[in-house]
Chains A and B, each alone.
Chain A
Amino acid sequence: MIALLYPYLILSGGTILIVTAWLLHQAQRQTQRASELIRLNESLEFDLPDFLRASWPALSDGGFTGLSWHLVWFGTDIRETQGTRSSVFLSKDFDVGDIRLHVELYTPKHGWERSYFSRTLAEKFFLLLQMDLWIKLGSVRSTFEQTARMSVFLQHDIKNMLQLTSLAADQLMTPVPGQETRLLDMLKRSLPALQERADRILKRLVQSSEVQLGTRNKSAAIDLKAFIGNALDLHGLPAQLDGPDCFVLIAPDSFQSILDNLLGNYVQQIQSGNSIQMPQLRVSWQIHLLKDRKPTRVNAETLEFGDEPRYVLIRLYDSNGQPCLKPERLFEPFWSEHGKGRGIGLFQSRQLATQWGGAINIEAPADGPLVFKIELPAKV
Chain B
Amino acid sequence: MSMPLSNTAQESPPPLLLVEDDEALRSILRDSLEMQGLRVIEADCRKTAMTRLASNPDVGVMLIDLGLPPAEHTTAEGIALINAILADNGTAKVIVLTGQDEESSALAAIREGAFDFLAKPAQFDDILRAVKRALLFQRQELQMSAEGLTRLQINARVSDGLKAVREDAEERLVRQVLKETGFNVYQSAARLGLKRESIYYFLKKFGINRQDS
Interface residues of A (CB under 8 A from B): 152-153, 155-156, 159-160, 162-168, 170-171, 173-176, 179, 182-183, 185-186, 189-190, 193-194, 196-197, 267-268, 271-272, 338-341
Contact = CB atoms under 8 A, between A and B. Distances in A.
B146 interface: no
B182 interface: no
B123 A340 contact: no
A166 B124 contact: yes
A173 B121 CA distance: 17
Contacts of A339: 74
B123 to A, nearest CB: 6
Given A152-B73, A189-B27, A340-B71, A160 B124 contact: no
Interface string B27-65: 111011001100000000100000000000000000000
Contacts of A272: 70
Contacts of B70: 267-268, 271-272, 340
B90 interface: no
Nearest first, the 9 A-B pairs at minimum CB distance are: A174-B1, A193-B24, A159-B99, A271-B70, A162-B121, A170-B124, A340-B71, A163-B121, A186-B31
Contacts of A159: 99, 120-121
B28 A160 contact: no
Given A153-B73, A340-B71, A163 B122 contact: yes
Q: Is the interface of A mostly helix, strand, loop or mixed?
A: helix
Nearest to A340: B71
B125 interface: yes
Contacts of B123: 166, 170
B113 interface: no
B24 A182 contact: no
Given A156-B67, A156-B73, A160-B99, 18 more contacts: A156-B99, A159-B99, A163-B97, A166-B121, A166-B122, A167-B25, A167-B29, A176-B1, A176-B35, A179-B35, A183-B31, A186-B27, A186-B32, A193-B24, A196-B24, A267-B70, A271-B69, A340-B71
Nearest to A267: B70
B120 A163 contact: yes
Interface of B: 1, 4, 22-25, 27-29, 31-32, 35-36, 45, 67, 69-74, 76, 97, 99, 120-125
B23 to A, nearest CB: 7
Contacts of B97: 163
Contacts, number: 92
A241 B73 CA distance: 32
B32 A171 contact: yes
Contact of A182 (B23, B31, B45): B31
A154 B76 CA distance: 19
Contacts of B29: 167
Nearest to B31: A186
Contacts of B125: 170
27 contacts: A152-B73, A156-B73, A162-B120, A163-B120, A163-B121, A164-B24, A164-B25, A167-B28, A167-B29, A170-B124, A171-B1, A171-B32, A171-B35, A183-B35, A186-B28, A189-B24, A189-B27, A190-B27, A190-B28, A193-B23, A267-B70, A271-B45, A271-B70, A340-B70, A340-B71, A340-B74, A341-B73
A160 B22 contact: yes
A168 B28 contact: yes
A334 B120 CA distance: 27
B207 to A, nearest CB: 21
A194 to B, nearest CB: 7
A340 B35 contact: no
Contacts of B35: 171, 176, 179, 182-183
Contacts of A183: 31, 35
Contacts of A186: 27-28, 31-32
A176 B28 CA distance: 14
A168 B1 CA distance: 12
- Among B22, B69, B125, chain A packs the most CB atoms within 10 A around the CB of B22
Contacts of A168: 28
Nearest to A176: B35
A266 to B, nearest CB: 11
Given A271-B70, A340-B73, A197 B24 contact: yes
Nearest to B29: A167
Nearest to A273: B70
Contacts of A341: 73
Contacts of A162: 120-121
A167 B27 CA distance: 11
A161 to B, nearest CB: 9
B129 to A, nearest CB: 13
A176 B97 CA distance: 23
Nearest to B74: A340
B36 A160 contact: no
A155 B1 CA distance: 27
A15 B125 CA distance: 98
A239 B27 CA distance: 30
Contacts of A340: 70-74, 76
A286 B181 CA distance: 63
B27 A176 contact: no
Contacts of B73: 152-153, 156, 340-341
